[in-house]
Amino acid sequence: MYILFDSVTLEDLHDIVDALSTALDAKNSYMCGHSERVAELSLLMAQTMELPLAEQERIHIGAHLHDIGKIGIPDAILNKPGKLTEEEFDTIRQHPEIGGTIVGKIKVFRSVSDIVRHHHERFDGKGYPDGLCGDEISLGARIVAVADSFDAMTTMRTYRSAFGVCEAIEEMERCRGSQFDPNIVEILKRLAFEKKLQSTCNRDFAYRLVIA
């Protein structure tokens, strides 16, 4: 029996995204909530940049799905408590390409495949999987790269404590122009200055968004 859908609403899309993100969170306790936080921070930055509403929504959905390729990474590597070997790192580095392929096969998500595939590209061209640089990387992917790294730094890991907001901002500043788009780092700094990123005592989540 086949059921045909005349249209998919934005609410439907978010429900699908939430389901996929939940499946990913189930693979690794330290990833729990990561995609949602990255999506909300990416949206806040896109709003601050006053991007068109359609692009804000595209970035929001792409950010939710940015790590979906980790579904294809063995649990033994994702959940390894100690330091990864270079071979294991090479396996982890496959997740943007895997994710881009996954979303590219789903018509309603095809428009965010650039964000999923390129969120680990670097502004200086030394990232992966395609070695893009500067404006060759889509704006959405550059925004998600900053949000992803900020959240990773401000979340507790088995091998280190969470960075505070100020410490994370300092690290982002150090990497501006090399790893990150300098203009997007400025947006993150502006949000911190405006106290829209605040420290929290939650052991797993060291900051929270403050949206007026």
For residue 140, give every residue at least 6 positions away whose Cβ sits within 8 Å of its Cβ, in sequence order, or none.
42, 55, 58, 59, 62, 112, 114, 115
70 is catalytic: yes
Residue 168's nearest CA partner among 142, 147, 182, 183 is 147
Q: What b/e sequence results for 67-79 when a residue is b if at least 16 CB atoms lie within 10 Å of its CB, and e otherwise?
A: bbbbbebeeebbe
Contact present, 173 and 183 (Cβ < 8 Å): no
Q: Which two tokens stand for residue 66?
A: 């940015």
Torsion 100-102-104-110 (CA) sign: negative
Instruction: Tell me which of 27, 70, 105, 126 is the catalytic residue.
Output: 70
Catalytic residues: 70
